[in-house]
Amino acid sequence: MQLTEQATTLSSSSAPPSMSLRHVVESQQFTVPLLMELFDRARLMERIVARGGTLDYQNRILASLFYQPSTRTRFSFEAAMHRLGGRVLSTEHARAFSSEIESEQVEDSIRIIGSYSDVIVIRHHEEGGARRAAAVSPVPVINAGDGDGGQHPTQALLDLFTIYHERPIEGLSVAFIGELDRGRTVRSLAYLLAKFDRVKIYFVSPPEMQMKPDILQYLDRHNVKYELESSIDRVVGEVDVVYQTRIRPDRVSNVASRMRYAIDSSVLGKLKSNAMILHPLPRTVELDKTVDSDPRAFYFKQAANGLCVRMALLTMLLDR
């Protein structure tokens, strides 16, 4: 079955096979054609959700294994599986399992959980935890965020889909603002943006929290233009997309210092009239609630898009 306006189901027996995708561990593994396939499926999922979902995956089970707390990511994956007709095994406290207390290796846990389920979504407290899980898993593994400064590829996919919904990605200018060195979401999205032509990225943060060299070296290798900045005012009027992230209080305890990297009504006045404001959420002082009513604020739509993008991703893995 082709992904068309007339399509109403996505059963594993009739859906077209996806391109090579066994696990989702990092953003780098996605090609532009693979991204376009995902986005086509996500648009189909929007129509499926509008009619209440499907039962096409009623015999499939998703295991939701979170070693760190999560609200939006865990709920959207679990809702995605339910909307597809599947079932969910879930925990948000995997580190409190008796087996984890007894130092069971994640590899052993994954081997067992993989025998109970058809796909595993994992958020691990160690960078590289999802990769370790994928290396031994008998079923597809999806990285829902790993470590402090690792990756969060599915967040980046829904971020990119949100932009793609509104404008061409080629020629896009994006400002990443906030705590960038440990930002899983901005790291993952930078990898994806590097796949498109004429993209320019501004990294705006306190100098001690600037983007790590590995991302900058990747952008250099792929001829992506970027600038390192420490002032919002020099950048916000130039970009198409402002991607705001928080600065955690344990990194900068002084609220006034964090407010230097915040979006409020004064910053809104400097933005392009057709700019987009994104934020992976949750937010603190870096994104004032007065911004919510501005038509350029897309972060709630961005979060909502996580459902359809993750539904699409699950079908690509389950239809292999």
pLDDT, tens digit, 9 for 90 and up, residues 51-90? 999 999 999 999 999 887 778 899 999 999 999 999 999 8
Q: How far apart are CA 129 and CA 233, in angstroms?
A: 38
Domains of the chain in sequence order: 27-151+306-318 (3.40.50.1370), 153-302 (3.40.50.1370)
Whole-number mean pLDDT of the chain?
88
What's this model's pTM, rounded to 2 decimal places? 0.89
Q: What is the pLDDT of residue 147?
A: 83
Q: How far apart are CA 174 and CA 153, in angstroms?
A: 18
Q: Could you write out the DSSP letters of every residue in 194-237?
A: TTSTT-EEEEES-GGGPPPHHHHHHHHHTT-EEEEES-STTTTT
Residues pairing with 203 in the sheet: 176, 228
The rounded Cα 131 to chain-centroid distance in angstroms is 16
Q: What is the pLDDT of residue 104?
A: 56
Q: Give the alpha-carbon dihedral of 32, 74, 152, 107, to 10 degrees.
A: -110
- Which region among 114-123, 247-256, 307-316 has the lowest average model confidence (pLDDT)? 247-256
Closest CA to 176 of 226, 225, 242: 242
- Quick check: 70 and 145 in contact, CB under 8 A? yes
More confident residue, 157 or 248: 157
Q: How far apart are CA 214 and CA 102, in angstroms?
A: 35
Residue 157 reports pLDDT greater than 50: yes
Angle separating helix axes 184-193 and 213-221, nearest 10 degrees? 10
Q: Give the model's confidence band at 250: pLDDT under 50 very low, under 70 low, under 90 confident, else very high.
A: low
Amino acid identity at 24: V
Kindly report whether the peptide bond that precedes residue 282 is cis, defined as omega within 30 degrees of 0. yes
Q: Where are the alpha helices (DSSP H) in 84-141?
A: 98-101, 106-114, 129-136
Average pLDDT over residues 29-36: 95
Q: Give the model's confidence band at 256: pLDDT under 50 very low, under 70 low, under 90 confident, else very high.
A: low
Angle separating helix axes 72-83 and 153-166, nearest 10 degrees? 70
Q: Give the model's confidence band at 93: pLDDT under 50 very low, under 70 low, under 90 confident, else very high.
A: low
Average pLDDT over residues 245-253: 74
